[in-house]
Chain A
Amino acid sequence: GENVEQHPSTLSVQEGDSAVIKCTYSDSASNYFPWYKQELGKRPQLIIDIRSNVGEKKDQRIAVTLNKTAKHFSLHITETQPEDSAVYFCAAGGINNNDMRFGAGTRLTVKP
């Protein structure tokens, strides 16, 4: 099955700086890579996703890159704001959640 590793586990940045979170996966058959933001006690919210036929995707301040050869993908948040503070999870698997596995999470703190 799929195994996803995520780094770093905690990340602290100053407001306005960029934040990068990296994940690796093991199953070359995985073709869907979503990123979720989870605030304390709430459900994870999908913030961006990428499919295996795309190398990069951007949505305003958030971007995700995928390197299928190396089996790693990254989340980039630019111009961070305090409200970006949360736990971020990467995941990898099939597009319909078959064998979807989550990374351990990254607790991002944006200091004002």
Chain B
Amino acid sequence: GAVVSQHPSRVICKSGTSVKIECRSLDFQATTMFWYRQFPKQSLMLMATSNEGSKATYEQGVEKDKFLINHASLTLSTLTVTSAHPEDSSFYICSASPGSYGYTFGSGTRLTVV
């Protein structure tokens, strides 16, 4: 089945630093990938749609300068949280669709900003 790999699984960073999260589709090409954020005991909130070779589409209220997305190839999208602050601490998760079978999630990244 379709597999989406996400790294790192956990990261702790200091306030003001940047963190990069990678999302890879392992056995299929994904022209589009999706980035979600999930706070404790809450649902998944779509942050942005990552488009291969073009700019990402951000949801309302998501700062594109803070959450930089790069989709440089058909199998890799990255999310960089710039100048991270404690309120950015959350579970970040990506997903991609292999076609007509819906979509598959990565394993998620738990970000803690101290």
Contacts and interface: CB of A to CB of B under 8 A. Distances in A.
Interface of A: 32, 34, 36, 41-46, 49, 89, 95-97, 100-105, 107
Given A97-B97, A104-B42, A104-B43, A42 B102 contact: no
Interface of B: 32, 34, 41-46, 91, 93, 95, 97, 99-100, 102-108, 110
A14 B79 CA distance: 42
Contacts of B91: 41
Contact of B106 (A43, A102, A104): A43
Contacts, number: 48
A97 B97 CA distance: 7
Contact of B46 (A34, A101, A103, A107): A101
B98 to A, nearest CB: 9
Nearest to B33: A97
A100 B102 CA distance: 10
Contact of B93 (A43, A96, A107): A43
B99 A96 contact: yes
Given A42-B108, A96-B97, A97-B97, A32 B102 contact: yes
A76 B100 CA distance: 24
Given A89-B43, A102-B44, A103-B43, A97 B95 contact: yes
A10 to B, nearest CB: 10
A97 B44 contact: no
Given A95-B100, A96-B97, A97-B32, A43 B105 contact: yes
Contacts of B99: 96
A90 B61 CA distance: 23
Contacts of B97: 96-97
Q: A41, A45, A96, A102: which has the most chain B beta carbons within 10 Å?
A: A96
